[in-house]
Amino acid sequence: MIIDDEEDMCWILSKILESEGYETFSVQDGSSALALLGKQAIDLVLLDIRLPHMDGMQILETIKKRNPDLPVIMITGYGSPELAAESIKKGAFEYLPKPFANQQVIDIVRRALEVSKLKKEKGIIHRSLLRKLLLIGETSPETEIVIPKPRHIPLSFKIMSLSLALIVAVGCIWMVYQNYFGWQEKTYPVSYTHISGIAFDGEFVWTSDWFSQDIYQHRINPDFPPVKIFHMPGTHLSGITCRDGKLFTCNAWDKKIFRHNLDNKLTILGEYSSPGPNPSGLFWDGKHLWSCDADTCMIYRHNPEDLAVNASFPSPGPSPVGLFRQGNYLWSADSGTMRLYKHSLKDNGKVVAAYPLSDKEFAAFTMSGKTAWIAVEGQDHIYSYNIRKFPELTNF
């Protein structure tokens, strides 16, 4: 359903989507839209944010109260990062700023419908597995049910048997859940395609996009909505790290590393010269900042105050793009070899293990626990993998 007070815009969107085989309905105001939702089965809503009588935000809230799973894409010619983030917070799947390209509309609608379908299928699979594991089902009319004569069973034995059965059932459900959902590659959709850095602060995933010159803060759920968007004009963001209330970025154009305040503008608190001409990744471990450089092919450790380099060692690959420290080990990802390397910090950064990370040339990397997060240049998705499933390489 398309909700826009401009008939020309409704006509344009209808033609774009109908050319892809979608059936469309168009209305010009909120009352008509809500009335149609009560009569017609709708799979997706394209909603203009500026409407007469009832604005888009009010309609969005009403739709989400009636049908929380219905994907809503906000359309606006008055777009701003704040307005976009607000609509996402209220439950919108994504926002589409005017003017837009035909393919942009098709891609975002297709992605929204795919996510909606996956969520429904996941719910069906969950219910099916639970029915099978807990033996919940219906008997067919033809089934003859034979009820044996009851016999006396001690109450203590009944309680023990029930407890054991419950433990087994819970264990089976957990194993099935992990096999079907916990150890699979996960994909998170985003609305941008030139990701240069990924960071995880324990609650949110932060990303940087070198083309749009934006920093995004995402909440981790299947829709992966941006909670905040920060525009950083005049920059070429090439890396980001955020942890323990500290945020750093690096800029390949200026050959600089920046320390930011976590305010509404990510105000720069300090800028420092990068040790190499092409800083390509950062990680703050709570005590030191780590950086890598794609031209020098080196990995650096910095003092926390002035970011002077106090240790360094060579990158095992020609194009390092991300780092992560875990205890006495540092992990580095290289887009040239498409591998993840494990370095021993007790042995001057010696590589002690290596894993194939992706079959595509990725542009950004970080980790959280045993989960590796990567992004591929030109793709509008972020991928997460459990590294326990990666085969360890013998030759590196």
pLDDT reported for residue 168: 61
Residue-wise pLDDT for 201-260, tens only, equals 988 999 999 888 999 999 988 889 899 999 998 888 999 999 888 999 999 888 999 999
Q: Is the distance from CB of 14 to CB of 20 less than 8 angstroms?
A: no
Residue range 341-360, pLDDT digits in tens: 999 999 999 999 999 877 77
**Between 344 and 117, whose confidence is greater?**
344
> Which phi and psi angles does 95 have, rounded to 5°?
-125, 150
- Kindly state the greatest CA–CA separation across the chain: 85
| Cut 0.75: pTM above it | no
Could you say which DSSP state residue 274 is in?
-
Q: Which of 50, 52, 43 is nearest to 93 (CA)?
A: 43
CA distance 79 to 84: 7
pLDDT digits (tens, 9 = 90+) for 327-337: 999 999 998 89
357 compared with 372, residue with greater pLDDT:
372
Tell me what the pLDDT averaged over the chain comes to: 83
**pLDDT value for 157:** 56
Token duo for residue 18: 């109908």
Domains recognised in the chain with CATH numbers:
2-108 (3.40.50.2300), 186-389 (2.120.10.30)
Q: Give the neighbor-by-neighbor strand order of the sheet with 381-386.
A: 186-189, 381-386, 371-376, 362-368
Average pLDDT of the residues in 358-377: 86
Query: Which token pair is 55?
Result: 């604005």
Q: Cα separation of 354 and 317, whole Å?
A: 11
Task: Give the C-alpha separation, 301 to 275, whole Å.
Answer: 10
Q: Which helix (H) or strand (E) holds 119?
A: helix 102-133
Distances 173 to 118, 123, 168, 176, 177 between C-alpha atoms, Å: 20, 14, 9, 5, 6
C-alpha pair distances (Å), 254 with each of 277, 299, 318: 9, 19, 21
Name the residue type at position 182. Answer: G
